Chain A
Amino acid sequence: MNPERRQMLGWGAAAAGAVAAAGLAPGLSLIELARARSPQEAASALQRWGLLIDISKCGQCNDCVTACHEENGVTSQGRPETDAQWIRKVTLRDRHTSYAQTLPMMCQHCEHPPCVDVCPTGASFKREDGIVLVDKHTCIGCRYCVLACPYGARSFIHETVSGQKADVPRGKGTVESCTLCAHRVDRGEIPACVEACNRDGGKAMAFGDLNDASSEIHRRLRAEPSTQVRADLALNTGVRYQGL
């Protein structure tokens, strides 16, 4: 290596060091802190929204389901086989002891969602903040995602929909599922199911930012045992259960 070249490399190293030091200058920080965002700001990967559901507190009520369907304008057509279902109550019974537990099941907002992998048009996508959604403008209704989802979270809309809520557009020929109430979360509110559970139900559901070390949900997940449904699939779900 000739002396000039060695000199150049030295200058390069010095410049890189200066850039790293500048990172600590006022107004710049190495780690950006998660904070509430304004409507003009895009959802950021600094946050990951999730739910923690304590099954031991989940009783026989149906308040989360009612509140969800009320908030999102999901109405029954009187045909339960084809009605949309964003959230449902599941009862688990031990075959030997007959011990029964009930839990709400909805889109688990996976970090590696199979529904996104199989979507041929890119309609099924994951937002930066971890919320898995369907872009109904590009959804062709092929229903691959309905089959791919291990949680049975997605519904196909078979019939013309009327009386949609202003925040929740819904239409025939597309697939839909729990949006984690993205329209509410963007306003800084909590999902309708969590609100209903904490108001009328057993206070079994908690909503929060899994990445925010100061949040209640982060603290509980760190301190208490919790499980993912079908953890063997390594999808890293955003919805976690306790007491399962």
Chain B
Amino acid sequence: MLFHQRDRTLRQGVREPRFSLKGCVECHAGRESGSVLGKDGFCSSCHSYASVKIDCFECHSALRQKKLAGRP
């Protein structure tokens, strides 16, 4: 589904918050690291366990953009 939505976003300019990769990262990024990568990262922990090759974050930013509430 992500594949399909990614093409709609890029090729048709449909930027729905529901299918935004930026949106995924905002919530799933680690509390400490602010990233979905790393040893306990939401994406990379499963991908490295299952030896999945696809890596969105060679190109896309893996970092949360907004500051967490109550943090500097």
Q: Which residues of A contact B (CB under 8 A)?
A: 39-43, 125, 127-129, 133, 135-137, 160-161, 164-167, 169-172, 174, 182-183, 186
Most buried by B among A128, A169, A174: A169
Contact among A42, A137, A171 for B8, CB-based, below 8 A: A42
Given A39-B17, A137-B6, A172-B58, residue A166 in contact with residue B12 (CB < 8 A): no
Contact among A127, A136, A137, A174 for B12, CB-based, below 8 A: A127
- Pick 14 A–B contacts, CB within 8 A, sort by A: A39-B14, A39-B15, A39-B17, A42-B8, A42-B12, A128-B12, A135-B7, A135-B11, A136-B59, A164-B59, A165-B61, A166-B22, A166-B63, A172-B58
Say whether chain A's binding surface is mostly helix, strand, loop, or mixed: loop
Interface size class of B (residues with CB under 8 A): 10 to 19
Given A136-B59, A169-B61, A171-B59, residue A182 in contact with residue B13 (CB < 8 A): yes
CA distance A125 to B13 in the complex (A): 12
Minimum Cβ distance to chain A for residue B29 (Å): 11
**Binary interface profile of B, 24-54, with partner A (CB < 8 Å = 1, else 0)?**
0100000000000000000000000000000
| Residue B69 interfacial (CB < 8 Å) | no
Given A169-B59, A172-B58, residue A129 in contact with residue B13 (CB < 8 A): yes
